[in-house]
Amino acid sequence: MKDLSTLEQQLERLGIQDHPKAKQLLQKATVAENPRVKKAVKQRLHVFIQSYQEYPFNGETPNVSYTDRPVILGETVGEGRTYAIKEDELTRHLLTVGATGTGKTTNHYNILDQISTPCWIFDRKRDYRHLIHETTDVLVIPWNKLRFNPLQPPENVGLLRWAMVFSEIYSHAGDLLSGSKNYILSHVTELYKEYDLFRDRSPPYPSLHDLEALIKSDKVNFVRKESNYRDTVLNRLEPMTTVTGPIFDCSQGYSLPELMKRNVVVFEFGGLNRDIQNFIQEILFAWLYEYMFQNGSRNGQLQLLLIWDEAKQAFSYKKEQSDAAGIPEIDDLTARAREFGLGIMAADQEATKLTDSLKANTGTKMLLPMKDWKQFKSIAESMKLTEIQKRYIQNLDVGQAVVQHGNRKPVPVDLNYYDVEKEVSDNDLKKHQSEKWKSLDYTLSQGKDFSNSSSSSGDSSLAEYI
C-alpha cells in the first residue's frame, strides 16, 4: 500500500485534491491513530483515485425545472442522468467543436426541436433546408432570393450611428483598414444627405448600388491619398454589387422585424463569395443588435437565436489578430448581445481558427471527438480540462461530448440523437417555399444621378450631420 504522502501527490497531480470526498478521506487517514483504521482509509482513498482515473469527472448536472423551458442535451455517460440547460441560458451562447461527422449539426437539430424561441440560421452547406418537413413556419431564403438593403437603418437607430456601424462591418468583412473605413463612412453620410434623410427620414433609402455610383462620381485628386482609398473600396464594392444581382438593389428589403417573428428562418449562402457571405451575416447580426438595443427589453429572456455552422468564417481569429484593423465588430457584438436576448449557437471543427472572444463568451461549451491534437488542445484549454480528462476524451464515441456549462465542471454526455432526411432538392424547395417568397415585400431602388454631386473626398465633415 502506498504511503499517505504518495496518495496526496496523486490527488494533486490529478487536480482533485479539493474534491470533498478526497479531502474527507485524506483527513481521516491523517488523524487516524489505529493502524488498521489508517490502512482501511488509505485503501478507500486508493480506490477513489483509481475510480477517478477511469472516469475523471465529478461535475453535477444543471438544476433545471420544467418551468425553466429545459433544453435536454442528453444523458451523462455511465450514469444516465438527464443533462439539460435552461432555454434562456442560450443568451450566454453555446459553442460546439468536433471533427466532421461527430454530431455537431445533429446537436443543433436536437436543440432546435425543443426551443420555443424564433431562430435565424446562417447555412453555408444546405444543412437546414430539410426543416421545411420537420417543423412549422419555416422560411428558407436562398441567397439569390434575399432582398436586403444594409444602408436602411433599423427603426429608431440614428443615421450617423448606423453609418458608423455599416462602415465598421463592411471594413472588417473586406479586410479594409481605418483610412478606407473613414472614406466609406463619409460617403454613406453624404448619401443620406443626398436623399435628404437628415431632414425627413422616410423612404426611399439609398442602396449599395447608389454608394458605388457616388464613389465613382467622386471628384478625387488622383495625386492625393484619397484616390487609393477610392480604388480600394471600389475593388471590394464592385464585385459585391455585380455578383449578388438584385440582393442589394432595393430601397427597402424584406421586413426584418417580421422575419424575427417567424419560427425558423434559414439564410442559405452556399455558392456565394465568402467575403460577401461574411458581410451579410455580420451586418444582419449588427442590425439585430442595434434594433433590439433601441426597441427591445433587457429582461434576460432569449428573444432570438442565431445559428452558425462553419463559425470560423464569421468569427475568424485572423481578424482578431490584425492590430491595424482593430477589434472586430462581431467580437464586440458577441459580448454585448446577451443583454438584449440575442443568443448564438456556433459550431466548427477547427477551434484554433475561432476568435478568442467567441471561446471566452460562450456559456456552454461542447467538445465532441477530435483526432487533431492541435484543434483539440485549443478548446480543451478554454474548458480548463485536466490532463487525465483530456486523455479520457480521446476515447469518446460519435454522438458523445464533454459539456461544460457556466462555472460547472465538465461532464461527459451521450447526446440525444435526431434523425433527419436531408434530401431536399432545389425543385422541392421551390414547390414548398414559392408562395412564401412571393409574400415577402420589398421596394426596388430607384437610383440617383450623382454626376452633379458636391461629394469630394475628405472635404465633408461628419460634424454637420450630428
Identify whether 144 is part of a domain. Answer: no
Regarding whether 449 and 372 lie in a shared domain, the answer is no
pLDDT the model gives residue 458:
46
How is residue 283 written as a grid cell?
451586418
Please state the length of the chain.
Answer: 466
Residues sharing a CB contact under 8 Å with residue 51, sequence separation 6 or more, in sequence order: none
DSSP label at residue 86: E
288 plus 383 within the same structural domain:
yes
Q: Are residues 336 and 409 in the same domain?
A: yes
Residue 153 lies in a domain: no
Range of the domain at 282: 66-137+260-427+432-438
How remote is the C-alpha of 412 from its chain's centroid?
24
Residues 338 and 422 placed together within one structural domain of the fold: yes
pLDDT at residue 191 in the model: 96
Domain identity same for 283 and 410: yes
Q: List the one residue out of 84, 142, 54 whose CA is nearest residue 392.
A: 54
Q: What is the pTM of this model?
A: 0.88
Q: Which residues have CB under 8 Å from 109's CB, separation 6+?
A: 418, 420
Q: What is the pLDDT of residue 1?
A: 53
Is 154 among the domain residues? no
Does residue 152 form part of some domain? Answer: no
Q: Is residue 251 part of a domain?
A: no
Number of domains the chain is built from? 3
* 413 shares a domain with 387: yes
Rounded CA-CA distance 78/80 in Å is: 6
Q: Is residue 253 part of a domain?
A: no
Q: List the pLDDT tens digit at each of the 466 positions of the chain.
A: 567 888 888 888 877 788 788 888 888 888 888 888 888 888 888 888 888 888 888 778 898 988 889 999 999 998 889 999 999 999 999 999 999 999 999 999 999 999 999 999 999 999 999 999 988 899 999 999 999 999 999 999 999 999 999 999 999 888 888 889 999 999 999 999 999 999 999 999 999 999 999 999 887 665 566 778 988 999 999 989 998 889 999 999 999 999 999 999 999 999 898 889 999 999 999 999 999 999 877 888 999 999 998 899 889 888 777 645 566 788 889 989 999 999 999 999 999 999 888 988 899 999 999 988 899 988 988 888 888 888 888 889 999 999 999 989 899 999 998 887 778 999 999 999 999 999 999 999 988 888 776 555 444 455 555 4
DSSP 94-118: EEEE--TTSSHHHHHHHHHTT--S-
Asked if residue 348 and residue 264 are part of one domain, the reply reads yes
Instruction: Choose the final residue of a domain: 14, 30, 54.
Output: 54
The verdict on 90 and 182 lying in the same domain is no
The candidate with the shortest Cα–Cα distance to 347, out of 314, 377, 323, 325, is 314
Domain boundary among 54, 77, 94: 54
Looking at the structure, do residues 235 and 209 belong to the same domain, yes or no?
yes
Looking at the fold, whether 323 and 175 belong to one and the same domain comes out as no
Residues 169 and 316 placed together within one structural domain of the fold: no
Does residue 36 lie within any of the structural domains? yes
Number of H helices, E strands in the chain: 16, 13
The CATH code of the domain that includes 269 is 3.40.50.300
The answer as to whether 146 is a domain residue is no
**Same domain for 280 and 388:** yes
